[in-house]
Amino acid sequence: MSEGWVKTCERILEQMRKMSEKRDKDRLDLIQSMRFSLYALHRSILGWLNWVNNPDIMVSFKREELEEMNKKLIGFIEEFIKYDIEVTEKGANKSVVAQQARRQAEERARRTPEDAFYI
């Protein structure tokens, strides 16, 4: 099983490399690349969870190895979550601006000549 997992991971990394090196990427290319990358991460996380939840596998690692894995994972995940926060805040701000613009356009469309008051 581990050999097949590693080979698949290598193919995934190669595909990600090809996507990142592609020239003249349009918006769809970028979205496809992000989607592929996130599914690759999801797959990897599921694999890690299978290992961590399997005492038969985890017992084979020394304490020092577990400490190193834990340290690396925490480092990766902290950086990912910080980036998640940054992008989420940026997206939320864009959403608020878009909602305000939409409301203003709807308000303008609802106004009738009777709503205008002239002196």
The tens digit of pLDDT for each residue in 5-32 reads 999 999 999 999 999 999 999 999 999 9
What is the reported pLDDT for 93? 79
Q: 101 vs 84, which has greater pLDDT?
A: 84
DSSP category for residue 29: H
What is the reported pLDDT for 107? 77
Cα 115 versus chain centre, distance:
47
62 backbone φψ class: left, alpha, beta (φ>0; ψ -120 to 50): beta
What is the reported pLDDT for 112? 64
Residue 49 has pLDDT above 80, yes or no: yes
* CB 19, CB 29: distance < 8 Å: yes
Q: What is the pLDDT of residues 52-84, one digit of tens each?
A: 999 999 999 999 999 999 999 999 999 999 999
